[in-house]
Each structure stands twice: as C-alpha cells, then as structure tokens.
Structure 1
Amino acid sequence: MVVNGTFNNTVLVSLYTVILHLLSEGFSMDSAGSASSSKANFGNGVGFLHKGGKRKFPTQLFFRNDAYHSVIPRIGGPPSILMHHQFDAVENEVQWDEGCMNDEETRVTHTTAQKPCCCSVTDVAVGLRYKETAKYVPSTSKGSCKPMPERSPHVAAECNGRGLSDEIEDKPSTSAQSEIEYGYQSLHSLENMPMATQSSSETLKEEELLDVMLLLYHLGISPNFRQAFYFMSQQSQSISLLEETDRQIREKSCSEQVRRLKEARNSYHEDLVDCVRHCVWYRATLFSQWKQRGMYATCMWVVELLLVLSNSNSMFHYVPEFYVESLVDCFHALRRSDPPFVSPALFLMQGLASFVTLVVKHFDDTRIVNPDLKDLLLQSISVLVQYKEFMLVFENNREAINKMPRSLLSAFDNRSWIPVTNILSRFCKGSGFASYKNGESASSATFQVLLRETCIHEQELFFSFLNRLFNTLSWTMTEFSMSIREMQDKNQVADLQQRKCSVIFDISCSLARILEFCTREIPCAFLMGPDMNLRRLTELVVFILNHIISVADAEFFDMTLRRPGQHQEKTNRTMILAPLVGIILSLMECSSTSERRELNDVIAVFASMDCPATIHFGLQYLLSYNWVCFLSHSLSILYLLP
C-alpha cells in the first residue's frame, strides 16, 4: 500500500498479527456457528503451530506463478537461473514427525512430558494472568483499578433476543438490487450452513497462512524490531550520559561549566524521554506475551521445515531466502525481547535446540548461493557463543561437534574472517598466558579439544588456515599502527578514529590469542618438518613487538584504546603482549621437554633474523614489563631466553 509515495507497513503489521493469532492461539466455532477466538483453548496447544505429532508442508507453494513469487530470491539462486537447472523429481509434500531431528532423550515437543517454552506451564500461567488483568480498567489516572461491571439483565436479554441479522433485515434497502446479485448472503443463511462449508481449510490451508506470515514478517515486522532495539540501545546510552553528566556537575565548581553541563543534561533528558516513549510503545505492540509465544512456536516450526527440506537436495534450492531471514530475525528478536520471554538457560534447551543444528549445518553450505545469507547464519553462531548458557547447547549438539571446527577453519577467508575470529577466540578464552577465567565467560574446553584434533588430523586444512591467520594478523597490526601514528601526528583523538583503533586492536588481540592456542596445542606444526611456519611465526612476533614498542608515548597509546566504562587493564598493551609471551613460552617449553632431537631450533631462528638489535630490545621489553597483575606460574620459563 502506497501512501504519499512511501510504503506504509501498518497494513502488513495488522495482517501479520491476525495470522499469527490464528495460527498460534487458534479459532473455534461457537454455538451460533461464528468463528471466534478460543479463550478456553489458550495455551493448550490447539493452534496450528502448537500441534504435535505428524507435520506436513505442501512444497508446491514454492512454485507459484504469481508475479511476486516469480522474482523472490531462492536459496539456490534467482528463479530465472533455477529454471535452467536439472534437479531430481520433487515431491508435492514433505512430512515429518515433530522433533525427529533431535535425540530421543533430549527431545522436547508438544507431545512429550517436557513441553516447549511456548506451551510450558509457567508461560501459560503468565498469559492467563495477562488475560485476567485485561478485565480491569483504571477509574481515574490516580485511582485504584476495579472490575468492569457486568451487563444489566435487561440489556443482556435485549442483546440476546435480537440478533445482528434481525437488525440488518429491519433496515430498508436503498437499492433495487437484491443481495444475491451482489454476491451477499444473509447471516441467517450463514448460520445454517454446514461447518465444513464455513471452514476455510478447503480454500486456504494453514501452511499457506504460515508462508504468507513469514513474508509479512520479512516485509513489515522485521524493520519494526530493528527500530525497537535501536531505541532500547539509545535509552541505555542516554541513561549513561545522564549519570556521567550528573557526576560532572557535582564535581565542577566553575559556574560556566556547570551551566553548559546542565544544558547538555536537559538535552539528554529529552532524548531519554523520547526513547522511553518509543520503548513503551514497542513493548506493547511487539512483545506481548501471546505474540512471544507465537513467535517461539513459529521458530520451532520453520527450523524443522528447513532441516527436513535440506535433506532433499532438489527442494532445498527452491526455498525462498526470506524463510531463512525471517527465522533468524525472529529468533534473535525473541532472544532480545523486553520483557524476556524465558530465561536464556531455557530458550534453546526447551524447544529450539535444533536451531543450532540449522545454523551450524548451513553457514558454509555450498547450495546457498547468496553469501549474505551464509553471513547471517555465521553471525548467529558468533552471537550465541558469547553466552555460556547457549555454549552448553553447542557442546551437546551432534552437528556442532562433528562439523563446526572444520567448517570454521574453512570459513576463515577474506569475507568471513571477523565472525570466525570471534567464535574461535571465544572457544579459547581464558586459556592463554596472563589471561583470567571469568565465571561469566563462555570458553569451551570441549571445542578446544575438537579444534586441536581437527588441526592435527587435517594438516593441509590447518596449514592453509595458519597462512591466512599470519596474513590477517600482520594486516590488522599494520592498520592499527598507521592509525595510531596518524592521531599522534595530529595530536588529537577523534571519536571515529578512536573507535576504529579500538576495534582493530581488539581483533588483533583475538587473532594473537588464536595463534597462541595453535602454538600451545599443536607445537609440532612449528617445531617439526620444514621451518617455514616457525620463521613466519617469529617474524610476526618481532613485527608486532616493533609496532607496539615504537609508540613512544605509552599514555597516549592507552588513552587511544580506552573507552568509557572500561577498566584500564583491559585496554592497555598487556592484551597484545601477553599472547606473544604465551607463544614464546609454548615453543620453548615444548623444545625443552620433548625427547625428539630433530626439532627446529627456536633460538637459532630468532638469531638468524637480520634485526638483532630489534629482537634484543623486544625481548628485554617483555622481560621488564610489569606482569605483576597477570603473573602465572609459567613466567619463570621466560628466563630460558638468552
């Protein structure tokens, strides 16, 4: 619908809401034969999305010839290209049992004793309480709430004794045309029609409504959620700015400075009020309990559908891209919802564990033509592994255990290296030199073992990954050093450039930690065979040391990286120097404890480099660095160096 040249998604949102309510909460036929929302069935799983057992989906929905669907991008490419490909014969319908892709002992469905989050007892109780509160309205803005009065007996009798169809029949017709000519039927006729005739199942299947609902979500709802989360973020930022401004007002004594701070505070307060209004509106329109329940059930349904279709090589190519995009966006919108739908510990475990299977299985699937779609799945993994509750699901997922380590090493390329770096560094978090294990961190000993085994048994893949890791870390440190020097020359720290430096530095530290993990867990890749990997490693260590030490003003270095609200120990040189020490310690320890004599000599490789003064100064800098706050028992090994 076009209004004043712009697309108005109000109609799309309304249609989506109606269809979601129909598929999730269900409709029943009352005694008069009219369709109405079933209050008694609330939470009992009677809606289409909450029906357990056998499920089916008509695949002919992917082959409709209408103008819109003929141009919708598909997973296998544009429809115009898919027409020229020869695939196996496609089925008209796919069928499966709910939860069939999960292990029987951990399966959570609408028919098992343990119900999904959308139908759990707690959530239903919350929904019922929400419906109960709808019976109360405030008498005044400050007065207490009281129940709405019931209709008086004579009003009820009048309403029940005279139907709506009677009122219509009493009205004189303003046209000579009969109702039949206009295609209308009297309400008396509708009431006397058989139930099967009134039902829309013969003309519009629930699966078709699901298909339409996913498209409506993609077109109209997804932008609304992005706006909602934007205002939530702005609200938090405005609160932080207000608190910081109040602190400065208390500390300042100059009246002129206080005046300017109060003006800034008024501006922040206006922004906060505007954000709060938007957040309250979005909370009421997007995050009501029944909508969250329906969104969760939708995610469960679509995840299973996509996993079933992925087993059919021919059908998977024709799946519209918006199926995947709507699923991922709906999943994360529900995960970040305010108020939360369920606790993070239950969000995946109690109904959506198969979402992990989907993203792990397809983030490097060659059948997916659009690289943005693969990035979307990979970014989902990168976000989820930041939380220990979700990491536990990955560690217990068969697809993740069998496939993810190798797929991550393969996906470390020019396009996807940043999310892969975030995932790998999260796996290795807290296991390096001078690093501490935070109880809230999501490090994974399970995936550390799996990564080590993958690197050892697939040497060609590991060496290819190692080569890209060397190149990427060298590039990020060069970019970081150039940005620092540029700010030093200008003698000022611009916000945008400071943010850029901070991001590049964080990524460089993560890459260095991954390299430290490789030297600690697979030292034979550097100490045995050709010394190319060892030489590149030592050159990179010296290269990073030279770039870090060459920044003469250490205070300027730390100020460039420090961001509001961060502790100094998390933003100084220790973050990049500690992995370098860990690399040297791992190689020296392996060389000193190994019984093999054919190992490459680490000290000899350092000595053969044509910059002895730089190497000596760098190693002395590491020895004299203040490690008091980060010391571990392995520091003594550092003095094995000459």
Structure 2
Amino acid sequence: MDGEEIVQRIFGKDTISLEQRNALCNSNTSSPPGSRKSMCLEVAKELIGSQLNEFGPSIDTVGLPPDTREGRIGPPVVRFDIATHSGLFVVGADRLSVNSQSNFSTIRANACLFKGKWQYELQLGSKGVMQVGWATNFCKFSQEIGVGDTANSYAYDGNRQRKWNVSTHKYGEPWLSGDVIGCTIDLNDGILVFYRNGRSLGEAFSNIQLGPGMAYFPSVSLAFTENLVANFGSTPMRYPVEGFLPIQDAPYKDLAKAELLSKWLNHLLELLLDTREGKGQSIGVTSEPMTDEALLLALAHTIIGHLAPLLLSPYITEACLMPFLESLCSNCQPKKGKDKSNRKLHLFLDLLWAFLEDFEIKKCLEHVVTHMLSDFRHVSFVLEYPHQKKTLSLLLCLVDHPQTRHHLLEHVLFDKVRFANFVHVKPLDEGGLAEVVHTSWWDSGKPDPSIDHKKSSYLRACKEIQRAIAEVENLQVQLLKALMNNTDGTATRPSSRKIFLRKFRTFLHENLISSRTMPLLQTPLPITLCCFHRLLVTFRELWAAEVDEQRLFIPTRTFYDGSINYYSIDRLGGVVSHLNKSLREDLVRELGPEHNVVAGTETNSNLQSVDPVLARLLTQQQTSSGPLLVERITGVPPRLTEKNTAGPADPFASLIELLDGLILFYHVAAHKQIAKVSTLRESMHEYTTALESTRSRQDAVQQAASSSTAVEESNIDEILRELNQTCDVFTTKLSEQARHMAWVRAAVYSSEKQSQLAWLFRVVLTTMMEASKTDGLFSFVPEFYLETLVELCTALRTFLHPTAPIEDVKNADQLLMEMGKFLANHFADTRIVHANSKDTLIQSLATFVCSPNTLQALERCPVDSRMAMVRSLLRPYENRAWAQSNWVLVRIWQGCGFAFRYHKSPHLLRKMGPKLLHSDSNLISQSIKPCPSKLYQSHVKEIMLGDEPLATSFLNSLLNQLNWAFSEFIGMLQEIQNVSSRPERVFIESRQLKICATCFDLTLALLRVLEMVASVASPIFTDSSRVSADSLLARLCQLLCQVLNRVSSQAGCFQHVVTLEIPDLETVDHFPILAAVVGILLALLNKELKETNVKEDPIPKVSLALLLEPSFQLESLNFVLGNFHKDSKLRNKIFSFRNYTDDVNDKEIDSVQQMISFLTALSSRVTHAEVSEEQLCTICYAYPISATFKPCNHQSCRSCIAHHLMNSRDCFFCKTPIERVLSSEGEVLHELLQKDRLPVKAN
C-alpha cells in the first residue's frame, strides 16, 4: 500500500486538492523510496491544517469569546456564583455540583437573562426537599427563605410536588435521584415551565414580572445534604426544548473540528489494524525506511495532536468522543476475548496514552467516566435498563485495557466518582413500576377473595423484575472482576487487585466515620447495599476460581499480624495497643520475636501517613491549594502516602482481605438499608390492619341499618359514604406500596439475596467459632465481626422473613442452633471486654428467647452450653450490667407465672387515648408473646439447688437490686405526688418520668424472676438444712410486704399517680406488680396450702415467717381481690383480680382466696411478744437484739447481721472486721475466718 492510497483512504479523495494530489504523484515517481512516504506525511499535515483552519481558531488559542447573544448578561462560562450563596455548600471544582451543608442553602448562577427563551438542566443527586427555578437580583435569601419564597423568585419542588412563588400550589410529579429536571423561561411572554426527564410538567407560572432591572438568574435552594449537578450548557442538554437556548453557548466550531478529526481517526484505526494483521499491500520493510505502520502512527500523532486540546472540553467529550467510543465498542465483548472491535478500542487507547500529555488524557478520561456515571444514574423508564446496560458495556471495554484500568482505579473511580454508583440498580419510577406490576397484591394475613386472585399475576411481575435486574447485575459483576484483575502486575507496577483493595479499604474507612464527622463522604445506603451484594458475588466467583477451599473463614492470625489495616477500630478485648502488651507472649509464639507487631514497629507497611479521609476531603475538589494544604497539615505530599508493592497479589491473602472488607461493609452500611427497607412491609401491615378495621365498621353499620328509623338511615348513609372513601384511600395507598414491594421482593428480599446473606452468616459464624479456639488471641477479633454476626442473623430472621422465609435457607435450623450455641458460650466470656460488644451479646441472647423458633434453637444446643449459659445468667447482680440478663430469665418464665400469660399488661388494653409511643424493647412491658422454656427452667432448678453458694449470692444480689429499684420508684412517685399537689402549675421533666417507669419495669422483672425461683426451686427458701434459707426467706417476706403495703394503700403515692394517668407512666398500674407479688407468695405457700391443717398442725415455716414479719398486713392481701374497707372520702375505683376475667382464670382466683383464708386463720394463732424500745435492733427497729459482734461488741438482731454479712464482713457501726457473731446465749452464730473475708471495694 503506497502513501497516496493511505492518505486517500484516511482523508477521502474529495478532500485532497489538485495541488496536493499532484504533489503526491510527483513524490511517487521522482522521489527516492525513503522520502515518498515522508512527502505523503507532509501533505497530510498540510491537508489537516487547511481543513481545520476553515473552522476558525480553536478555543485553546484565543480563549472563550464573549457571549454576545441578546437577552443575556454574564461571562461566557456559566457556573454557580460562590460569592452570592446563602448557607453552607460544598461546591465541586467545576462549580456545577453543589451539596448543601445547612438547613436550607441557596445559590445562583453567575449569568442572568432578561429577554428571549432559555433553558438549563439539573440532575438530582438526591430526592429530598429542593426548590429549583429562577430568581432576580432583588431577592434576599436566608436559611429559612429560599427560591420561590420571595416575590420575584419562582421554584418547583418535586419532593412535595409543589410550585412556589410566595404562596404554594400543587404542581408536577414526585422526583427521584438521577432525574433530569429541565427549567425553561420565556422572557418574551413571561412563562415558566419545568420538565422531568424531557416530559413537560405543564405551565408553572405565567405573567412573571418583566421590564427594566428584571433579570432572572438560575437559582436553587437545597435542604441539608441534598445535592445536584447543573448543566447550563457546558455539555449538551440531555433533553433540549425546541426554541430554547442553553445559557452557555455551545462550542460549535470546535465540535465540528472534533467530529472531522474523529472521522479521520476511525479510518486510520481500520488501516492500522489491517496493516498489523498483514492484510495491507506492504511494499516490504527492507525496500524503504518508513513502513506503512510508521506512516500511520505518524499520521495518528498529528491527528491526535490536533484533537488533544479539544478533548479537554466536557462538551466535546460528551458530544463527540462518547459516540466515537460507543461506535468502537458497539460489538465489543470483553469477556469473550480479543475480537476486532476490542482490538480497535485498545489500539485507540494505546494511541491516546502514547501521544497525549498526562494531564490531557487524565482530564479526558475523567470527563468520559463522569458522563458515563451521569448517564448510568438516569432513571430508567423501561424494565430492560437500556442506558445502564450500554454504559456498563462501554465501561467494561474501557477497563479491559490495562493502562486505562490502572489509571481509572488510581485516580478516577474512587477519587473523582464513586465506583459504587456503577453497581447500583435504581428502581423504576412510579410509571414504570405501574406498567410492569399491572395488578397489586398484598398479604392480608387471612383469606381475602377481593385480592387473593391477583397473587399469581403479582408474583409473575416480581419474577420479571428479578430477571431484568439479573442481567444488569451480571454486567456489574463482570466489571468488578475486571477491576480486580490480578494478572497485570509487573516488576514496577502493582496489579489492579492491589490498587482496588487499597482504595476499597479507604472507601470503607470513609463510610465508617462519615456518619459521625463527615456526612459529605457517606455513600447513599441503597447504593451500598447493591455494591455489597455485587462484591460478595464477585468474591465467591473469584474464590471458586483461584482458591476453592470448601470451609471458608477468616484466619484468626489476620486480626493480629498487621496484614490488614483496621484503622482505629476497637477489638473485642479492647484497644490494640493494650492487647499487644498484655498478650505479647501469645504473639511471640504465633508470629515469632522478629515480627513487626511484636517488635513494636509499624503494623502495616501500607499504613498511610495521612488520614485517607482527610486527604480525600482536601484533594477531591481538584483545587491547586488542596494538595498544598495536605502538605502543610501533615508534612507529607498526599501521593507519597499511597504506595503499593509491585507485582500481583497473593490470591488467598487478597481475597481474604476483600472478604474482611465485605464484613465491615455490611456492618457499616448494607444492614442499615436492609432494615430501612423492612419499614415498607411494616407500613403495609398497618394499612392492612386499618383497612380490615374499616371494613368491619362498615359491616357493623350495615347491620345496624336494618333496624334503624328513617332519620337514622340518612346518618347511616353518610357514615357508609365516609367509610367507603376511607377504604378507597387505604386501598390506593396499599396498591402503591405493593408495587414498591414488588421491587423489594425482586431486588432486596429475593431468594438469591437471602442465600448470599446466609452464606456470609455461616462464614462469619465459623470465623468467630474458630477464633474462640485460640484462647487469649480471640480478644484481637475486631468488634464489628460480632456486630455483623448479630446483624446478619437479625436480617435473616426479622427483615427478610417472612417475605423470604428463613425456612428456605439451607440447614436453617442447624444454623440457628450454632448461633444460639455461640451466644450461650460467649455472652459472659471474660475475653470480651469491649462494652458495646458485651451489650450486643446479651441483647442478642435476649432476642433469641423472644420467639419460639430461636428459643427452640437454644434448647437444641449441647447440654454443656445450656448449663454454662444458665450459670452465667445466675451470676450475682453486682459489678455488671444485670438488667438484660435478668430480662432473659423473665422470658424463660413468662407464660408460667401467676396471671403472666399476657403479651401486654391487661391494664394497657383498657386505656383509652392516643397510641403508646414510649416503649423500650428491653423492658418487660414490651408487647411480646410469651414462650416459656421448661427446659431452661429445669436447668435453673438444677443449678440453684445444686450450688448453694451461687444460689445464695445470686438471690442476695437480686433482693438488693429489688430493694433499690422499688425504693427509687417509690421515691420518685412521692416527688411527683408532691409536685402535683401544689396550687401552681408545675411541669415534670419527661426524662424523670421515663426513669420512674424504668424503675417500675425493673421491679416487675426482678419480682418475676423471684417467682420463677420460688416455683422451681422453693427449697432454697423453705429447706431449713440450707444455711441461708431462713435469712433469704425473711428478707423476701420483708420486701414482699413492703411492696404490698405501698401499692395497696388507697391514700398513698402509688394510687395517686395511677389516677393521674400521666402519659409517660402508662405502664405503672396495680395489676402487673400485684400479680407478681401474689405469684411469689403462692409459690412459697403452695406446699403448705395443700398439706397444713390450719386448726391442728403447727404453723408451717413460710407462713410463720410471713406472719411474724412486722410489716405484714392482711388488709394488703385482701386488696388484691377488692376485699377491704374503703375510705368513703376516696373515690378511687376498686381494684380486684376478679375484674380481669380474660387474664386471671377461676383457678387462680380460687388459689388467692384460699391463701388469704389460710393466712387469716393462722394469724389468729400467732402471738407477738411485747419488746421495749431499748431492746429493739437499732438497724431495723422490728426485731429484738439477739446477736453480738466480736470483737467490737456491737449488737443487732439475727436477721440484720445475717443480711449484712452477705455483703460485708465489717461491723455495721464501727467498721471493725467481725471475727465471730454470738447469740444472746453465747452460742456462735457465725465464725468468720480470714479467708472468708470479702475483698475491700474501691471507692
């Protein structure tokens, strides 16, 4: 192929002038071989120059000319004016993207319009409250007043579907993130129109004020964290409106040049490919110095040299380069090998990297990816997602080129745009969903013929959505696999996987701290969930291809050898620096004495000197001052802090690092989105319940209509009409929610997503169980592993279920049992010292005893684990957080106690008024159906009866806490009573009321645990052979009598506060606390009631202890059945268990009546000896002095000293260590050896 043919095939015969053609002919006939192609090259350069000069000078040589179009004032480049904003913004480097950091921030453009027809576009980055439109220079804005709130400003808000101009009116459609909102202004006729994705929303305003001084600026007002990107004409309008001009003029001449150069370059690429494949008619390499390929490369250098400055313009990139790239990739399939289309694209990229300056190609690629992201984020109108598939295919082709892939990973996909955006699948808008989901169905909980026939069609639509989504997801997984290529590392360059993992780690760190310090850097939750699932699928495919080990878990060594940077994340055992010191011997044994961790050097050679989030925040705006600021703060240039070792990554280690990152990613973001999505199902349930209730009222009204008079019928017709309208509102709302739920079923709660979460749950659980086998090194496990384990379990059991039933998970029962075993073995593990982790464990265990299926899983655990769990629950309630473990014991018992079968206290069901909003999931008042465990009750019995010291210390601490909780509760009630009795109006703090309610709930929980112990292990109190039985019984009777007396007093503070019906004290009532107390008494007296003859037998032990208690009053017991003398001055409603027929059965009423009669009969046989005041114990003033402390000789009653010695060995009065306690007769009651002394407690 000779030079003339090459030139003609590239530039076309018609473009070559006669003079140039003659020069080419002469060179072919008269010039030596070495100069003929050189002459062709010179002719081609002349031709290129002459062709381009016809369009005039380029922008890069003369700068942007002034925009002299009529009706416009301002610079030629239109951007947001950062000098005129109100509130705080984060503005992008191009000053086209804004992110509000104030409650309501306003900013306007730097150009205004007073005549003609103009338009600009906004792509929404979020869908919250924003008012976008136009404003004049006269408008004054603040953080309360934005665009549309002043007389000369006009705005549209798609979040609230309103238009604003001082007043507001219904207008437009709801908008979504990714929507393109068009804003047009006709200053000839004074008309404003807004567009959503190219569709007109109708005329918004007409007759806007025109005339001298009235020039309108594009203006936007954004609520906190809302963000958008404006296009005033810097790129082609996505949806140009006929007759309207962009505010920034398009570079038409430069665009024509770029299109011509691209056309020539396309021809050149074809010839170059053919030449390299040997298809061209080469004259022979040896016959002339310049080969065909050399000539083509020289021509490419010339063409690209002219194209380079044009590609710096985002307008040229989008209007010219993007179509050119799409044409090169039209048949490109990166996963199928190097076909011609792929080679053509790679050749083009090779030429760009060879002939462009670094800053030129980097800027060009940044524009390309930014445009691709904008296109990808656009809301799809059809289920096939054509724009998204096209964008992903093009991006796949680009990252298939190694050098381009490296650059995008290092500088663009993480630093300039969020790579996670490209793996997000955005839901269809409302119209698109309605076209796919023709019929709406929802689960009403029972057969409903009106909607059940729609179920099959609805589920088919869900499957159709799932199929369409799967195609996009497959492309996204291919993209991630390409970005994690591990074969492109060289001796001087790291592999793509190494770069990706480093950048991904920084990405995780940003999201970890963003909610606390830098919300700007936080990735939206819907995007993070999609990103998590795609990365998880990518990991599994890469693991199967490169490692393929069946039993997968994170090696425990990873947590302490410094191979992964966990930044400042705490460990289960506390802070890493402390663990490195305290477990140094274990580390030396596992790592060796020369390891960096052991030697105290840097734990990670890749650890960055500059905090990556700080560096990202300071450099992401691409300003010249950014990197310098990093250097001033840290003294280290930012790029020097991001280094990778060259070569490929170790497959096993790199994938383990990715999996570790995914576990952190789930905890940081993905789980939050899964929980958030579940609120849609909860909302549907509420609407379904409301709809059923309304229909029931309709039926009741229709039945009443049959026996009504004519006057009543008119009222009934009106009522029915209103009820029908209410049903229509509920049905419409449910239909809308059902369409969104179809998307959730297909994209979030599908069986595939469920299996992915279950797989990760197994991996994390196995990791934790394996780490637990390493003794002390278990403390190095990062705390988020435990959080993720619990969150995954919760997601599978609560959020996905029942939409995706947990029974569908393979070996679900075994999985739950293993989780229960882990909780049982570790919720009191001394290696776990991190406070939040300890709370997480006990709360998870409490959650497991709340539902039958998880409780059964706990019951299937090995007996050793069950016994260890119960023994840990029965530890003394001192020096630890005991409320949660006590609540676990309550749940084991709930359903077996006296009148304890309710899921919500019966008195709450009788209350009329607003819905109870104040509830705490950790309190006994929470509405949870009872599911007692006879198995665990038997374990409690076995341990309590088999280990007397443990039982004694546990019950002593429980009684101490009960005394504290009830005393605090009564004290606060007295304060409330005193305040309410004042003549002036006094407000009680809500916080104080909540503390009061909490103390009441704690009292109930402690009483119910005592009821369980008294029921299943009564010998602890009744068996006189047990050393502490008498003391515990006396203390228990004392506390029960105190509670009974306080609650049953008709003139006391308890009765007074209950009658006030204070909103935050709804749970405080007679029923729950009296039922608990009566349950304990019945459990203690059960045997005596059956076996004792009240007239002939001696008074049994429990009855005697109760009757001898100085504070015991039979009237307090009679109160529970309403059998008491009521004060005529009081108008309180009489309380009685008989009033709660649905909650207290006849057998229980009879047992209470029997107990009262039994104690009444015995009380007549009890005689109380008179004791002088001098002989009374000075501690309790209830019993006579009967014990002397040695050596100090102070005295008290036996009960007080026995109680005191359970907590202290020092004299109650003088703090002298007690050596022994003697009775009045000189008998040794307590002999205290030195080894028995309790440790001194620090103040």
Question: Where does residue 538 of structure 1 map in the other structure?
Answer: 1037
Instruction: Tell me how far apart the structure 2 counterparts of residues 493 and 549 of structure 1 sit (CA, whole Å).
Output: 25
Q: Name the aligned partner's letter for residue 534 of structure 2.
A: V
Q: Partner of 2:1120: helix, strand, or coil?
A: helix
1:390 equivalenced with 2:854 (yes/no): yes
Question: Is the contact between residue 873 and residue 885 of structure 2 (CA under 8 Å) also seen in structure 1?
Answer: yes
Q: CA deviation at 1:451?
A: 0.2
Contact 2:751 2:804 in 1 (8 A): no
Structure 1's unaligned 5+ residue stretches are: 30-34, 36-46, 93-197
Task: Provide TM-score, normalisation by structure 1.
Answer: 0.65
Q: Indicate which of 510, 527, 548 corresponds to 2:1005.
A: 510
Contact 2:552 2:763 in 1 (8 A): no
- Worse-matched range after superposition: 332-341 or 365-374: 332-341
Q: By how many angstroms is 1:517 displaced?
A: 1.7
Once the two structures are TM-superposed, the CA of residue 327 in structure 1 deviates from its matched residue by 1.3
> Structure 1 residues 19 and 81, CA, compared in 2 at 3 Å: closer, same or farther?
same
Larger radius of gyration: 2
2:1018 to 505, 523, 526: 523
Are 2:1021 and 2:1032, in contact at CA under 8 Å, matched by a contact in 1? yes
- The aligned counterpart of 2:835 is 371
CA distance in 2, matches of 1:344, 1:571: 42
Pairing 1:74–2:542 present: no
Q: 1:374 to 1:348 in 2, by over 3 A?
A: farther
Aligned equivalent of 1:409:
874
Partner of 2:4: none
The CA distance in 1 between the partners of 2:953 and 2:737, in whole Å, is 48
Residues 893 and 933 of structure 2 are in contact (CA less than 8 Å); yes or no, is this contact kept in structure 1?
yes
User: How far apart in 2 are the matches of 1:231 and 1:497?
Assistant: 34
Q: Which runs of 5+ in 2 are unaligned?
A: 1-506, 511-517, 592-646, 702-711, 904-927, 982-986, 1124-1135, 1161-1243
The aligned counterpart of 2:799 is 337
Change (3 A) 1:65 1:381: closer
The residue aligned with 2:1114 is 616
Is contact 1:344-1:390 (8 Å) kept?
no
User: Residues 73 and 79 of structure 1 are in contact (CA less than 8 Å); yes or no, is this contact kept in structure 2?
Assistant: yes
Counterparts in 2 of 1:522 and 1:562: CA distance versus 1, 3 Å: farther
Give the deviation of 1:334 after TM superposition: 1.7
Equivalent position of 2:1146 in the other structure: 631
Alignment match of 1:306 (pick from 739, 759, 768): 768
Superposed displacement of residue 490, structure 1: 4.8
Q: Secondary structure at the match of 1:20?
A: helix
Structure 1 pair 600–369 and aligned structure 2 pair: CA distance change class (3 A): farther
Relative to structure 2, which stretch is displaced further, 332-341 or 368-377? 332-341
Quick one: which of 533, 538, 541 aligns to 1:17?
Answer: 533
1:550 to 1026, 1030, 1049: 1049
1:507-547 deviation digits (Å, cap 9, x = unpaired): 43332221112222222322324532122211221222123
Distance of 1:616 and 1:5 partners within structure 2: 67
Inter-CA distance 201–68: structure 2 relative to 1 (3 Å threshold)? closer
User: What's the CA shift string for 1:311-350, capped at 9, x where partnerless?
Assistant: 1114312211111111111111121123234239987414
CA positional deviation for 1:447? 0.8
**Which of residues 648, 661, 664 is equivalent to 1:212?**
661
Please say if 1:8 is aligned against 2:507.
no
Distance 2:1031 2:902 in 1: 33
Matched with 1:426 is 891
CA distance in 1, matches of 2:943, 2:1098: 24
Instruction: State the alpha-carbon separation in 1 of the partners of residues 1072 and 782 from structure 2.
Output: 44
Aligned mates of 2:895, 2:872 — CA distance in 1 = 23
Residue 227 of structure 1 corresponds to 676
Q: Displacement of 1:244 after TM fit?
A: 7.5
> Which residue, 605, 609, 623 being the options, matches 2:1105?
605
Shift in alpha-carbon separation, 1:263–1:440, aligned structure 2, 3 A? closer
Counterpart Cα distance in 2 of 1:199 and 1:449 = 59
Once the two structures are TM-superposed, the CA of residue 455 in structure 1 deviates from its matched residue by: 0.8
- Partners of 1:20 and 1:451 lie apart in 2 by 43
| 1:356 equivalenced with 2:820 (yes/no) | yes
* Letter matched to residue 331 of structure 1: C
- Residues 512-521 or 13-22, more deviating: 13-22
CA 1:515–1:60: 2 relative to 1, 3 Å: closer
Is residue 766 of structure 2 the alignment partner of residue 317 of structure 1? no
The C-alpha deviation readout for 1:249-300, integer Å capped at 9, x for no partner, is: 999989xx99x99999999999999988986766555333222111101111
Task: Indicate yes or no: 2:947 matched with 1:458.
Answer: yes
Structure 1 residues 411 and 637 mapped into 2: Cα distance closer, same or farther (>3 Å)? Answer: closer
Contact 1:551–1:557 (Cα < 8 Å) also in 2: no
- The answer to whether the 8 Å contact 1:427/1:448 transfers is yes
Q: Which residue of the partner structure matches residue 630 of structure 2?
A: none
2:532–2:665 CA contact under 8 A, matched in 1: yes
Distance across 2 between alignment mates of 1:350 and 1:323: 21
- For normalisation by structure 2, the TM-score amounts to 0.36
Moved more, 237-246 or 327-336: 237-246
Q: How far is the alpha carbon of 1:504 from its aligned partner?
A: 5.3
Counterpart amino acid of residue 337 in structure 1:
F
Aligned residue type for 2:1105: V
Distance change >3 Å, CA 434–CA 336, structure 1 → 2: closer
Aligned to 1:87: 585
2:1011/2:1080 contact within 8 Å kept: yes
> How many angstroms apart in 2 are the aligned matches of 1:26 and 1:67?
20
Quote how far apart the aligned CAs of 1:549 are. Answer: 1.7
Tell whether the 8 Å contact from 1:225 to 1:333 is kept in structure 2 after alignment.
yes
Distance, in Å, in 2 between the alignment partners of 1:4 and 1:428 is 45
CA pair 501-203 structure 1, distance change in 2 beyond 3 A: closer
Q: 2:898–2:1075: 8 Å Cα contact kept in structure 1?
A: yes
- Matched-pair contact (CA < 8 Å) for 2:667–2:787: yes
**Paired residue for 2:558, among 30, 44, 61?**
61
Q: CA–CA distance in 2 between the matches of 1:480 and 1:246?
A: 44
Aligned counterpart, 1:641: 1159
* 2:555–2:767 contact (8 Å) kept in structure 1: no
Kindly provide the CA deviation profile for residues 409-444 of structure 1, in whole angstroms up to 9, marking residues without a partner as x. 127456533322221122122322344599974211
> Hey, what's the Cα distance between the residues in 2 that align with 1:212 and 1:238?
39
Supply the AA of the counterpart residue of 1:584.
Answer: L
1:545 and 1:618 in contact (8 A); partners too: yes
One-letter amino acid of the structure 1 residue matched with residue 1008 of structure 2: R
CA distance change for structure 1 residues 313 and 267 in 2, over 3 Å: closer, same or farther? farther
Which digits, 9 at most, give the CA deviation of each residue in 1:98-133, with x for residues without a partner?
xxxxxxxxxxxxxxxxxxxxxxxxxxxxxxxxxxxx
Of 642, 651, 665, 1:202 maps to 651
For residue 577 of structure 1, what is the amino acid of its counterpart? L
1:4–1:329 Cα change, 3 Å: closer
Aligned-residue sequence identity (percent) comes to 24
Q: Give the total of aligned pairs.
A: 511
- Matches of 1:199 and 1:599, distance apart in 2: 86
| Change over 3 Å in CA distance of 1:436–1:219 after alignment to 2 | closer
Residue identity opposite 2:1037 in structure 1: T
- Deviation digits for residues 80-109 of structure 1 (CA, Å, limit 9, x no counterpart): 1122122325557xxxxxxxxxxxxxxxxx
